[in-house]
Every structure is written in C-alpha cells, then in structure tokens.
Amino acid sequence: MRHHGFSRHGEYRARLITNLLEKFFNGEDPREAKTPLPAATPSMDALPHESGHKHVTGEALYVDDTARGMLETWFVLSPHARAKIKRRDATEARKMPGIHAVMFAEDVPGLNDVGPVRHDEPLLATDEVHYHSQPIALIVGFTGAMSCARRR
C-alpha cells in the first residue's frame, strides 16, 4: 500500500506527523494516545536502485568516463607540519601545456577562508603552514597536464 508516493515507512511517518498535528491543533496531549499507531514493518518489496543494474553489469557511466576536455583541480599540499612560507614561484608550472592556472591565497576571489562557523580556516596557506598536507596552491588544468604537474 502506498500513500502519496511514500513507502510503508514513509506512510507510517506521514500518519504519525498528521496524528501529532491534529492532536496539537485540538489541544490534546499527544502523550495520552487513545489509539496506538501501527508499528512500522520493514518493506520486503523495496524498489531497485534506478541504476543498480548498470553498476552490476559494468554499463554505468561515471564522471571520469565522460568528462573529456573538462578542467580539473589539484591541490599542492605542504610536506611539512609547521613551516614559514618564504617564497612561492609557479612560473614554470604556468608554462606547462594544459595548465590553465596556478592559484595562491592572494588569487582567491573574495575571502580565502572555508571555516564553516569561525572564519579561521584558510583555503590556501598564506605566510605559514599549520599542519601537514595543508593546501598551499591550487593547479587548474586538463587531466594529462595534471599528471605532469603533480610530479614537480
């Protein structure tokens, strides 16, 4: 049995919410249940995932299979746990074929910060590295160029 496109679990939840709202608007205490709601039962007739057959047959397409000609990004990470950044030079990397851009903190448009609550987490390190593998630069380029840039 389906209700508004919900599965049995969805139907149970929808009925529970409806029941609680009715009690609220009628001024009833929902803790004093007159008729208990039916228990939720696991569905044995779950719908198959929309692309499940493609995953198991190898026919599924992934971004890596279809993203030809798209730019990719790759962070350059600090090899040190704590260090001062004395200089950064991306001149040679920018000359490499397929490299679209090499960005440092000062190249980030807007605020160079990704802290969700406190704005104390820079996207790219500026003057100092605070932890191992902290991002210090961002390379933008095509896949073939990325593999070359990673080695340098």
pLDDT of residue 52: 79
Place of tokens 């205490």: 29
pLDDT tens-place string over residues 28-53 = 765 665 666 556 566 656 677 777 77
Give the pLDDT mean for 108-126.
90
Highest mean pLDDT among 12-16, 36-40, 88-92: 88-92
Architecture of domain 63-150: Alpha-Beta Complex (3.90)
pLDDT over 90 (residue 91): yes
Helices (H), the chain: 8-25, 52-57, 63-66, 91-95, 143-150
Strand partners, 139: 74, 102
Which regions of the chain carry the CATH code 3.90.1170.50?
63-150
Give the pLDDT mean for 127-133.
94
The answer to whether residues 92 and 63 touch, using CB atoms and an 8 Å cutoff, is no
